[in-house]
Structure 1
Amino acid sequence: MSNKIAIITGASRGLGKSAALHLAAQGVDIIGTYHSNVAEAQNVIAEIEALGGRVKMLQLDVGDSSRFEGFVGQVAAVLSAFFKADRFDFLVNNAGVAARASFAETTEAQFDQLVNVHLKGSFFLTQKLLPLIADGGRIINISSGLTRFSPVGYVAYAAMKGAVEVWTRYLANELGPRGINVNSLAPGAIATDFGGGTVRDNPDVNAWVAANTALGRAGQPDDIGAAVAMLLGDGGKWITAQRIEASGGMFV
């Protein structure tokens, strides 16, 4: 996978960071985005450079589509000046926000934020980046196990991810003539700081997840980073238009 270039949104922490590190370890160059934490972004740069990889981190609010045109210009400039390339190979739409509320308690503000980040943001960022994606490239849209199982509190978030999964299939069909694979990867409960770090930091929640997972534990960021690297490796070249769940067998 050497000389390939991946764009990963939300690459400064959690699943995005793990994906960036796993891909960098396999020789993939990284363009990552971060929302606001410059220190976290710098840490990712240091870790990837320690692996001998090449990386640039760019600031981006995926929930603000008005900035996408400028961001694409930044990507084109970085590709040319830093990577000596005019195309990139892989796009991982990972950046996300959490909102936990029952259906009755979900506010329009929560709903709109989830739409803007998870659905509208990924949809139109991918559209804007299409001219820069190499033919034969690959796209992974991060979904969620919550599109299959339905605990109270995640109705709006899961609805967005369900829409992402449908969009993924349509995108795979439209981009097939260019040889571009498009899949959705659906993590189960992962021990990160996402959603306030509940799975990671609350022992009762962690134990409940483990008890309801075939492999007997909550997921770790590396479980998902490794899955991303697998799908973008040689083993993923004939996989497209699929929802792949990486949950350790939650609620099977």
Structure 2
Amino acid sequence: MSIFLVGGGDGPGVELALSQLASDARLRAGGETPVIAIIAVGEAPRPVADWFADRLRSLDPGVLATPVLARSTEAGEPLDEIDLASFSTAHAILVAGGHTPAYLAALAPLATDVRRLVSEGVSYLGYSAGAAIAADEAIIGGWRIGGVPVAPEESGEGLDEVTLEAGLGLVDLTIEAHAAQWGLVALCAASIEAGLAERILAIDEDTVLKVGEGALEILGSGSVWQLTAAEGGVTVSSSRASG
């Protein structure tokens, strides 16, 4: 079982994570057809799910990529409920990207079930929003703290103040995606300084943090930024894929 946290974008890192997810699903399936549930949430979730399904089939034509779609309003309010039965028998789960508040609203009622499935050996890949909500405490949006801008407004997911809510609880820290590309490392530092979080991992695009039974592994072309509360401020370091 692995948890793949993808910082968004596209490239060899994303492709490698999808390929490894397909391999995990095939291993769990034994001799059966490997099924990967693709959960997509938004005003028009079908094209999002189709993009991932096409990528998975190009990497492993034998994989059955099953879309699990939930519509939401522009503000992220759910219009459809996700039925646990739609993905409970899948051999791997992929939670796609889009409007983070909408993804959390759709999946929060199933958080206990998702944790159970992962603990039983079902691999999880979260892409962008899907990575952010995997955390214990998820940053769901916002671009100001105390009225002070800490990130570009267009990165705020429609929210004003930086907002954290209980996530799916698959990893015991806070995750941010599109780190360098959207200028969100500064937002993470400001969030820690304001006491909103103690530790945040911010993942660049085309970069993957892989959480498995061994040591953490970084895949892809970018960096994973580690921000931690420290006496008198915030410590920031970065790591890249080895080799």
TM-score by length of 1: 0.41
Higher strand share: 2
What's the TM-score, normalizing by structure 2?
0.42
